[in-house]
Structure 1
Amino acid sequence: MSMPNEMERRQQIIDTALQLASKRSWHAVAMHDISNEIKLPLVQIKPLFRSKDAIAEAIFDRADDAMLALNDNPTFQQQNSQQRLLTAIITWFEALPNNKAVLKAIMAYKFEPGHIHLQAHGVTRVSRTVQWFIDIANIRQQGLKRICIEISVTASYLLSFAHFIHDKSPGHERTRHRLAKMLARIVDADTRQI
């Protein structure tokens, strides 16, 4: 049996953290718990993940990757910008852990008063993800119109995310409907295109 490569090892660590968090809670999982579970010394985990928050960030990176993979989908390529934006954001949401209690705990951890550094990093993460949404949706406006679109997409994404983590509707239909309504407001009335 061959040794796992770095990418496989990273995925194993993420999956183990999520499994442990499902049994206990995100707050109760420590790096040494992950180490013990997968029989990998902390000194070998540290180069892959310097902290538990780095694992949380990798969970969001997975969502980024799932969303960006849409670009290779011919059906996605045929959608207009508004449809692409909706599909991209919903795909991002659905790539997150199925256990929403864990997801809520990760977000609560990031918003604890002593975690200002995580909140500052969260701002750049949101900005980067929104830039990917806009790019994959093939939105090409520039200048003031682009700035307005970025602000509107960011607001729609964050409001929908807050709704998503509490949404129990089949296929997240409530989130999808709410997001579609918000994105429709971003559409330029003249061209009916974003």
Structure 2
Amino acid sequence: MEALTKAQILDTALQLATASSWEQLRLCDIASALNCPLSALYQQISTKDQLADAWFDRADQQMLSHCYQGRSASERLYLAISSWLNALAPYQQQTGQMLLYKLEPGHVHLQAAALLRISATVQWLREAAALSASGLARIGQELALSALFVGVFVHWLNDRSDGQQQTLQLLQRKLSAGDKLGLWR
């Protein structure tokens, strides 16, 4: 038997979660669907939460795979964030279920890791958009971009409009407001 990849495991997990829910998904169900022992999964992932992290890693990779040069900082941020959201769009409902799983009261360790995750994605957003603020301006920019990112993401989770157009309009409005404040440099 060939070694499983994290991508194969994640794809199977997402398909199974679509049939039931992220809450009901068990690692043994994934192993059964892949016709392999749990030990084969364990070589790639050791918790269901690592699958959620792999899902967000995939969105980060999608965002970073594009070149946003030759545009304004606001346009670069728009393209980077919309690319990140588009990567998650095929499993929008399951993405929300992953977050609810992380936010359960008994999962304080997952909540702390989620904050670090947001911080890392925001740093990659700054890189993708080639933002160059430093010192206090960078700190303000990171705070504003973190608030923007979380607000847009939460809105996206509940957006049922075609192509999540309501979220993209919200993103544009928030980026324009940041432009007026001189945040995106």
Whether the TM-score (by the shorter chain) exceeds 0.5 is yes
Given the superposition, is the C-alpha separation of residues 193 and 92 from structure 1 closer, same or farther in structure 2, using an over 3 Å criterion? closer
| Corresponding residue number in structure 2 for 1:3 | 2
SS where residue 108 of structure 1 aligns?
helix
One-letter amino acid of the structure 2 residue matched with residue 3 of structure 1: E
TM-score by length of 1: 0.90
Instruction: Please state how far the C-alpha of 1:116 moved relative to its aligned partner.
Output: 0.4
Check whether the contact 1:149–1:186 (CA below 8 A) recurs between aligned residues.
no
CA offsets, 1:22-54, max 9 Å, x none?
A: 001111110000000001211121120010100
Check whether the contact 2:131–2:184 (CA below 8 A) recurs between aligned residues.
no
The answer to which of 176-185 and 28-37 deviates more is 176-185
CA RMSD of superposed structures (Å): 1.7
Q: How many residues align?
A: 185
One-letter amino acid of the structure 1 residue matched with residue 167 of structure 2: T
Partners of 2:72 and 2:89 lie apart in 1 by 28
SS where residue 98 of structure 1 aligns?
helix
| Corresponding residue number in structure 1 for 2:167 | 175
- Corresponding residue to 2:64 among 51, 63, 68: 68
Given the superposition, is the C-alpha separation of residues 97 and 187 from structure 1 closer, same or farther in structure 2, using an over 3 Å criterion? closer
One-letter amino acid of the structure 1 residue matched with residue 130 of structure 2: N
| Corresponding residue number in structure 2 for 1:100 | 92
Instruction: Please state how far the C-alpha of 1:99 moved relative to its aligned partner.
Output: 3.1
CA offsets, 1:32-82, max 9 Å, x none?
A: 0000000121112112001010001000000000000013xxxx3221111
The share of aligned pairs that are identical, in percent, is 35
CA offsets, 1:118-149, max 9 Å, x none?
A: 00000110000000001110110101111111
SS where residue 187 of structure 1 aligns?
helix
| Corresponding residue number in structure 2 for 1:158 | 150
Given the superposition, is the C-alpha separation of residues 59 and 182 from structure 1 closer, same or farther in structure 2, using an over 3 Å criterion? same
In structure 2, the gaps of 5 or more residues are: none
Instruction: Please state how far the C-alpha of 1:187 moved relative to its aligned partner.
Output: 1.8
One-letter amino acid of the structure 2 residue matched with residue 126 of structure 1: I
Given the superposition, is the C-alpha separation of residues 167 and 79 from structure 1 closer, same or farther in structure 2, using an over 3 Å criterion? same
| Corresponding residue number in structure 1 for 2:34 | 38
Runs of 4+ aligned structure 1 residues displaced above 2 Å come to none
TM-score by length of 2: 0.94
Partners of 2:58 and 2:8 lie apart in 1 by 13
